[in-house]
Amino acid sequence: MGLDNDTFQQVLNSIDRFVDRRLIPAEDIVEAENDIPADIVQDMREMGLSGFSIPEEFGGLGVSLVQEVKIMQSIGRTSAAFRSLFGTNIGIGSQGIVMDGTETQKQEYLPRLATGEITASFALTEPDAGSDAAAIRMTARADGDDYVINGTKRYITNASRASIFTLMARTNPDEKGAAGISAFIVPTDLSGITVMPADRKMGQRGTKTHDVVFEDVRVPASAIIGGTPGVGFKTAMKVLDRGRLNIAASSVGAAARLIQEALSYAHDRKAFGKPIAEFQLVQAMLADSQTEYYAAKTMVEHAASVFDEKGKAIEEAACAKMFCTEMVGRVADRAVQILGGAGYMAEYPVERFYRDVRLSRIYEGTTQIQQLIIARQMSRKFKEG
């Protein structure tokens, strides 16, 4: 259902002000220290950013997906580290519990996720299982009333900050592919879990990703999301469809910021006696970026409306994720070009955005995976007539 329009607009206006007055001024600190200042972390929690997609009955705001993507467009205007901090709580870390969890699991975890008291991480990717998520090797072997988990997860966002992992593991080694995979809620303080040092990345400083090693980690059968083994892959795919729209919306927000920075510079910078914004070739780059931004914004909001109406938007989410993340890469490239030598300098935010947005075309399913999903959905509908 989401919030009524007036209430939501108040929420969105508040977030816009927070981004402009609190987060954007702190971007250089995050970049320099590779971390988010503790006082900003607390401010984000107090604003309710950790729980706006969690239902109201569990302490969240319960926004619709259309409303969520508008919020993420606002957050996307600043450093990716800020979105990453709470993104797993409102997205892939919590939504498996929201969608498929038992009532007990929802009551135990969702209220604390909504307040930011705890952080969830989504643990799917492995050293040999990324795009082919059905190929995961992590095992969860039944042992009486428990399961014993062994294996390694890779590139796990917020692993060092997390209190729980929503984790995919193979409970039936005889079942190949997706059928043998189950989803678990695993507290991060259990014996046998080792979070490895943070990854060094091309961009997105301030975000934290890690390998996580599980050695004979014992969890009760009640830790299986929904209580039913063997359906974890379906949970993961539902979560990723929603997460793809989250990433798409963030990319739209980043494009808006890049266009703003490029337009401002083009009016300030003079060459041959006049602002470069008056040169037609610069105008062409600005116009191309604005047009693609408008198309992407329209696409992601429409895809979200389909999800709100039907409870799924497989093809629409894949289209939006592919187009929006490819779009922001082109916009970032043009922004650097418009700024010229200044665009290559770290004192201007377009340099950071140029590096940060490159990851958007990879996580939550690469562009090539989105192409496969789209084509398969097209063929399925064609065969159904």
Phi, psi of 335 (to 5 degrees): -60, -45
Task: Tell me how far apart the alpha carbons of residues 123 and 186 are, in angstroms, rounded to a whole number.
Answer: 10
Which secondary-structure segment (H or E) carries 42?
Answer: helix 38-46
Cβ atoms 331, 293 nearer than 8 A:
yes
Cβ atoms 355, 343 nearer than 8 A:
no
Count of alpha carbons within 13 angstroms of residue 256, beta-carbon side: 20
- Token digits of residue 150: 């062994």
Strands 146-157 and 139-143: antiparallel
Long-range contact pairs involving 376-382 (C-beta distance under 8 Å, separation at least 24)? 377/314, 377/315, 377/318, 378/315
Cβ atoms 362, 131 nearer than 8 A:
no
Please indicate whether residue 384 is annotated as part of the active site: no
Beta strands in the chain (DSSP E): 120-123, 139-143, 146-157, 164-170, 181-187, 193-195, 209-220, 270-271, 274-275
Task: Tell me how far apart the alpha carbons of residues 313 and 245 are, in angstroms, rounded to a whole number.
Answer: 10
- Reference 244, options 360, 343, 159, 342; nearest CA is 360
Residues serving a catalytic function are: 364
